[in-house]
């Protein structure tokens, strides 16, 4: 449940930020993103219904609809210079919506998730979205993508807090299990890293194809993500494995994805074919790396197939975008994004089997955030905080830089 809620919430964050920036830009796929945002809200409604029934789901939908409707509305108000409409939308998103949904979640969980804690975290989420949007509109792209990364990971915090409250409320329904074990944190971290990579990879390829002004800053965000992933590998397997990971991850993976875009822009099928072959080679090499690192607990062939399926979903999403089939673009995005949570589960399970003494069923130690929490020490914040910034270099679009 923690993984499912985190998936829905983080996917929601991606669509909410895209809905606003694309509405502001007047992008051709803006309507398709809005529909994807509504589809995500409907998926969240179904998740709520599976736990709290139809009445609870209907209450959730009524509150939540104001949020996904106001987000693009705020973007258009800013674009049109309508200060009154902008003020009204910000009031709804930053004040009324967090209070209404926070109250709903607290009542639904019988107070296991305190209303003031829920409201505070939801307001922080909405501020994350607006930080992305306003920095984007002002051309502060580095700040925009840092805010994107911060906001993306906050959704996993919310997923952990909400699932923890529900499990505390309904222990029998969830076999008296806990959401905050070290193994669960590991899986969540891998889910977070995998899904963020998918989101950034697809966004980078879109921006590269469009020759967008912020393209180079998406690649900067990808490099920050690579550093985080490398740090995660180091924490488990040491420096040598981390260095090996970085070399494999960068060379025939991120660079190859940029080469796909270059092939499109140059109208050279052979460049695209070469890039796709590099991605197939990466799938084999990275799958082998993961299998060896886990001492075979993750089977080599299964790992290779899983990695290629991910790469294929990135390419499918990109090709749909290039073809102008925007509905298909975001339908394939949904599938590819969700798939990364399966990869995280598979890899996490292999690591736990390899190192059972490191991942006992005891709760992980969590920092005191001062925001309160739920019963059984369920914390609002995930244990991982992500890495420091590096300097950004310039250069031409659609060619990947090393930052």
Same domain, 155 and 223: no
Of 130, 146, 178, the one marking the end of a domain is 178
Give the side-chain half-sphere CA count within 13 A for 32. 16
- List, as one string, the DSSP characters of 337-397: HHHHHHHHHHHHHHHHHH-GGGS-SSBPP----SS--BGGGB-SS-S-------------T
Q: What angle do CA 71, 72, 76 make, to 5 degrees?
A: 125
Within a domain: 206: yes
CA separation for the pair 18, 207 (Å, rounded)? 12
Give me the pLDDT at residue 362, please: 61
**Among the listed residues 197, 110, 116, 191, the one whose alpha carbon sits nearest the alpha carbon of residue 155:** 191
Within a domain: 114: yes
Same domain, 127 and 246: no
Within a domain: 394: no
CA separation for the pair 94, 131 (Å, rounded)? 12
**Among the listed residues 179, 163, 165, the one whose alpha carbon sits nearest the alpha carbon of residue 114:** 165
Q: Which domain holds residue 333?
A: 195-358
Same domain, 174 and 93: yes
Same domain, 145 and 220: no
Same domain, 209 and 277: yes
Within a domain: 239: yes
**Among the listed residues 233, 235, 191, 209, the one whose alpha carbon sits nearest the alpha carbon of residue 329:** 209
In SS3 terms, 218-239 reads as: HHHHHHHHHHHHHHHHHHHHCH
3 state SS of 296: coil
Same domain, 333 and 238: yes
Phi, psi of 109 (to 5 degrees): -95, 15
What is the number of domains present in the chain?
Answer: 2
- Provide the token pair at 30: 């803006």
Within a domain: 403: no
Within a domain: 303: yes
Rounded (10°) angle between helices 239-249 and 269-293 = 160
Same domain, 158 and 276: no
Strand partners, 363: 181
Same domain, 348 and 289: yes
CA separation for the pair 184, 3 (Å, rounded)? 9
Same domain, 170 and 304: no
CA separation for the pair 320, 331 (Å, rounded)? 10
Within a domain: 396: no
Same domain, 286 and 328: yes
Give me the pLDDT at residue 221, please: 97
How many other β-carbons are positioned within 10 Å of the β-carbon of residue 76?
A: 17
Give me the pLDDT at residue 355, please: 95
Give the side-chain half-sphere CA count within 13 A for 239. 0
Same domain, 313 and 269: yes
CA separation for the pair 403, 391 (Å, rounded)? 7
Within a domain: 369: no
How high is the mean pLDDT in each 10-residue block of the chain (403 residues)?
A: 96 96 96 95 94 94 83 92 94 93 94 93 95 98 98 95 94 92 95 98 97 96 96 96 95 91 96 96 97 97 97 98 98 98 96 92 45 33 28 34 48
- Provide the token pair at 152: 């993306």
- Provide the token pair at 74: 């705020």
CA separation for the pair 392, 24 (Å, rounded)? 25
Distances (CA, A) of 86 to 80, 94, 126, 247, 299: 10, 12, 14, 46, 53
**Among the listed residues 341, 9, 393, the one whose alpha carbon sits nearest the alpha carbon of residue 197:** 341
Cβ contacts of 64 within 8 Å, gap of 6 or more: 41, 44, 45, 101
**Among the listed residues 68, 71, 4, 77, the one whose alpha carbon sits nearest the alpha carbon of residue 39:** 68
Same domain, 212 and 111: no
Cα 90 vs. chain centroid, distance in angstroms? 24
Give me the pLDDT at residue 126, please: 95
Cβ contacts of 165 within 8 Å, gap of 6 or more: 105, 109, 112, 113, 374, 378
Give me the pLDDT at residue 392, please: 27
Give me the pLDDT at residue 252, please: 82
């Amino acid at each position: 449940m923690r993984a499912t809620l985190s998936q829905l919430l983080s996917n929601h964050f991606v669509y909410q930020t895209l809905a606003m920036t694309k509405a502001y830009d007047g992008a051709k796929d803006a309507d398709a993103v809005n529909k994807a945002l509504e589809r995500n809200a409907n998926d969240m409604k179904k998740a709520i219904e599976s736990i709290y029934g139809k009445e609870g789901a209907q209450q959730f939908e009524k509150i939540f609809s104001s949020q996904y409707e106001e987000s693009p509305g705020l973007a258009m108000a800013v674009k049109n210079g309508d200060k009154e409409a902008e003020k009204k939308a910000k009031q709804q998103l930053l004040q009324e919506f967090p209070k209404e949904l926070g109250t709903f979640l607290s009542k639904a969980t019988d107070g296991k998730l305190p209303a003031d804690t829920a409201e505070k975290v939801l307001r922080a989420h909405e501020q994350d979205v607006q930080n992305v949007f306003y920095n984007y509109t002002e051309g502060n792209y580095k700040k925009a993508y840092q805010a994107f990364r911060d906001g993306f990971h906050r959704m996993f915090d919310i997923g952990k807090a909400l699932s923890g409250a529900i499990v505390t409320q309904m222990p029998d329904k969830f076999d008296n299990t806990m959401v905050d074990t070290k193994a669960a944190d590991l899986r969540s971290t891998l889910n977070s890293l995998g899904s963020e990579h998918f989101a950034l990879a697809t966004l980078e390829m879109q921006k590269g194809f469009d020759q967008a002004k912020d393209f180079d800053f998406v690649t900067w965000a990808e490099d920050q993500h690579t550093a985080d992933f490398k740090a995660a590998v180091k924490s488990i397997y040491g420096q040598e494995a981390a260095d090996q990971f970085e070399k494999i991850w960068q060379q025939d993976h991120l660079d190859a994805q940029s080469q796909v875009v270059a092939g499109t822009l140059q109208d050279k099928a052979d460049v695209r074919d070469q890039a796709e072959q590099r991605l197939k080679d990466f799938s084999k090499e990275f799958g082998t790396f993961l299998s060896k690192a886990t001492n075979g607990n993750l089977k080599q062939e299964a790992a290779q197939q899983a990695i290629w399926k991910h790469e294929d979903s990135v390419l499918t999403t990109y090709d749909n975008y290039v073809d102008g089939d925007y509905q298909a673009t975001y339908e394939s995005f949904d599938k590819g994004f969700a798939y990364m949570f399966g990869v995280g589960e598979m890899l996490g399970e292999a690591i736990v089997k390899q190192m059972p003494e490191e991942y006992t069923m005891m709760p992980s130690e969590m920092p005191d955030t001062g925001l309160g929490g739920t019963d059984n020490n369920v914390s609002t914040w995930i244990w991982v905080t992500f890495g420091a910034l590096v300097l950004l270099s310039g250069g031409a679009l659609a060619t990947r830089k090393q930052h």
